[in-house]
Every structure is written in C-alpha cells, then in structure tokens.
C-alpha cells in the first residue's frame, strides 16, 4: 500500500545519505478518530504494522539501524474514554495531550523499553513525563545537533534550536 511504499522509499533515501525523512500516512487526517475509533484504529494499525516492522528489519539487515533513528508518533493521544462528540453520530475519541505514545528504534536507542506510565485510566502520567519539545531535542541529538545550540533567525535575532531535554532514558541513561 501507500504507506508501505513510503517506508521502502525512506529506506532507499537513507541509503543515499538523506538525513531527515518523514513518511506520512494518508491524505487528510486518518488518525483523527472522532468517531468509529476502534474500527479506524484497527484498520490503520493493520496498515502500518507490517511496513514499520519491514523497515526496521531492512535497516538492521543493511547495518543502518544503529545510525538511523526511527520515530513513529503523533502530536497528542486520544481521550481515555470513548464518547459521542458534538456533531458526531458514532462514538469516538477526542484529542488528548496529557498522555500519548511514540515508538523509537535505532540510533543507539535501547530496545525493549516502555518509558513512562499513566494512571489506570490512561488519562494522566504517574511518572515523570516528556513533552513534544523533549521529543524534538531527542531528534536533534540523534542528528548530532545539540538542542541548546543558538542560531539566529532571518532578522538576526538569537534563538535556540529547541528548549526541550534529550530523552536520555531511551539510550539507556538516566
């Protein structure tokens, strides 16, 4: 399918030295499951499971996984409970920024870890949590760029690449 082809293209681009590659799933917002959440999630998960596994296997077999960070995630999670949202006829789940998941592999990431824990409802973290800024800092770190590097914008004003902290626990530290 479309996403699988994107994963294959990503591997080919990485082989040719491209440093940053994004594989996007579908047009519109297919993961935005305001209605039919379970049905939608099952279909989308089935569409990405094999291509992501094949990409990771491919990178490992070619000796590229140690130098390539693979990150799969989004900018927020979904509400812990299914409900019928205003304007919808079929129950679903709304945006939820308090708890969300991401998958990290390669580039020195220690595999087999689950980092962080939510309460029994999946509503709020009960362990120290990370922010999208921390995710960005971790990507910069994997690219060999110090997140706290100061740069200047187009009007010569100083700014930092990122104000997050590297997720050291991914790499077995911390």
pLDDT tens digits, residue range 89-108? Answer: 888 888 888 998 899 999 99
Size of the chain in residues:
174
pLDDT tens digits, residue range 65-85? Answer: 999 999 998 778 888 888 887
Q: What is the CA radius of gyration of the chain?
A: 18
The model's pTM is 0.85
Please give the helix or strand (H or E) that residue 152 lies within, else none: strand 150-152
Residue 4 makes CB contacts below 8 A (sequence gap 6+) with: 50, 51, 54
Residue 48 makes CB contacts below 8 A (sequence gap 6+) with: 3, 25, 72
pLDDT tens digits, residue range 5-41? Answer: 999 999 999 999 998 899 988 776 777 777 787 888 8
∠ CA 115-10-105 to the nearest 5 degrees? 15
Task: Decide if pLDDT at 174 tops 70.
Answer: no
């Amino acid at each position: 399918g479309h996403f699988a082809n994107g994963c294959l293209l990503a591997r080919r681009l990485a082989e040719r030295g491209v440093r940053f590659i994004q594989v996007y799933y579908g047009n519109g917002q297919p993961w935005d499951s305001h209605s039919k959440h379970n049905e939608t999630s099952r279909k989308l998960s089935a569409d990405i499971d094999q291509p992501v596994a094949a990409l990771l296997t491919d990178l490992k077999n070619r000796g590229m996984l140690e130098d390539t960070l693979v990150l799969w995630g989004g900018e927020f999670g979904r509400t812990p409970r299914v409900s019928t949202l205003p304007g919808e006829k079929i129950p679903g789940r709304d945006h939820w920024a308090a708890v969300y998941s991401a998958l990290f592999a390669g580039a020195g990431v220690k595999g087999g870890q689950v980092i962080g824990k939510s309460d029994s409802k999946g509503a709020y973290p009960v362990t120290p949590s990370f922010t999208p800024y921390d995710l960005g800092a971790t990507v910069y770190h994997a690219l060999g760029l110090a997140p706290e590097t100061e740069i200047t914008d187009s009007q010569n004003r100083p700014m930092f690449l990122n104000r997050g902290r590297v997720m050291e626990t991914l790499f077995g530290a911390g």
